[in-house]
Structure 1
């Protein structure tokens, strides 16, 4: 596939800072693929999935453009996947992470309210990453929390070039979310995402 001129310039300029940056854009995005998330049993499932997809096409698009060095552990088909399939992978990954962070409860509060919502984000971290907290419930609004998490992860994954890294060199999603540094929890989440049709190799 021809390389987009803008993407080529971006990658050449950032190749040292972003070792995972590739010189090929994902194929054009078709209709959203059918895939499972771990919050499918929740009444808010469609809203949460839509919010995550939208964020991945906007403020967190760096997640879709980046090919992390350890992506095969989570989604072997990611390199060949189109934009919609990559969005599906990241949405599924965060649905698994939300299980360990909040039990999929948007009202969850940790450390006396220091960490809030589905992905247990602190207001200070949200402000640092310029998340939109205009919803009345702020980070306790599921869609708001997921959009903010996507923005945070996009910065970390693009910078570190990994989904999680490993012991002694944690990065990417594991930089901000401790469950990804736990072997059993990480393996559970990775096992779920690897099973997705969008993560299969051709």
Structure 2
């Protein structure tokens, strides 16, 4: 009995120490767990918006400022510049870009964005006279087809003269269901809204240059204005006479001006 009593006393004496040790460990673990739980959550870095700058005025835009009519909205520069994918600012851009911007590959991204903004201003000038509400129905049998989205004769619309079919082809933000009950030239139509039209144009040109490995100018371009040998291409070249200074086109300005002058004279003779 004395031995059993002695053992019980020893265990009883050790219990407070053991319990204290367990409590101590528990408190440490709890504290570390709480500290981990209460640590501030680091905010997720948001992608930085690209730096943009206004592009120069094309000849048609400068002329319309003097005479009146639809002009290029400087906010459209930012729309184009923000929509550009990285490959359109890289060496993946075809070499023929240098005919319009000789220093393209050595320019900063900001200047490259401004060049593309100017490029699309020139394209819109040649395609639609800078009027975002322009609509054209083609009579040439080669292009007078049925649009699979609208199930009507194809019409080219907006600044870059696009179609609802481009929604399927390039993932453009056009909504025929929302537009079909609106007046033909209602600026609320998704295809006529400059943002949607210009962003779609960027996708089309990116597909031409990067996916199809064609030049900036191509005989099979989506736009006839980018098809060499056509009258509309010469109109486009005329609009490309005043790109950003960073392009270094100064040595070619006179040549481009001569081409533009000859084009104008030839078109006058044709009329």
When normalised by structure 1's length, the TM-score is 0.69
Counting matched residue pairs gives 161
Structure scoring higher RCO (CA < 8 A, sep ≥ 6) equals: 1
Q: Partner of 1:52 in structure 2? A: 80
Q: Which residue of 2 aligns with 1:128?
A: 169
After superposition, the CA RMSD in angstroms is 2.6
Which residue does the alignment assign to 2:189?
137
Structure 1 residue corresponding to 2:215, chosen from 135, 141, 162: 162
Check conservation: 2:89, 2:109, Cα contact below 8 A.
Answer: yes
In structure 1, stretches of 5+ residues that fail to align are: 1-28
Does the C-alpha gap of structure 1 residues 30 and 50 become closer, same or farther in structure 2, counting only changes over 3 Å? closer
Match of 2:203 in 1: 151
| 2:112 is equivalent to residue 86 of structure 1 | yes
Deviations 1:25-49 (A, max 9, x none): xxxx984345313357567613211
Cα contact 2:122–2:236 (8 A) shared by 1: no
Deviation at 1:100, TM superposition (A): 1.5
Q: Highest CA radius of gyration, 1 or 2? A: 2
Matched, 1:200 2:259: no
In structure 2, the residue corresponding to 1:37 is in which secondary structure?
coil
Quote the residue 1:7 is aligned against: none
Compared CA separation, residues 139 and 150, structure 1 to 2 (3 A): same
Q: Deviations over 1:123-175 (max 9, x none)?
A: 1023210012269521100111001100111111113242104xxxx25xxx1
- 5+ unaligned residues in a row in structure 2: which ranges? 1-48, 138-152, 179-187, 250-271
For the residues of structure 2 that align with 1:84 and 1:161, how far apart are their CA atoms?
24
Could you tell me the TM-score, scaled by structure 2's length?
0.53
Moved more, 43-52 or 90-99: 43-52
**Cα 1:90–1:44, aligned 2, differ >3 Å: closer, same or farther?**
closer
**Farther off after superposition, 178-187 or 84-93:** 178-187
Query: Does 2:230 align with 1:184?
Result: no
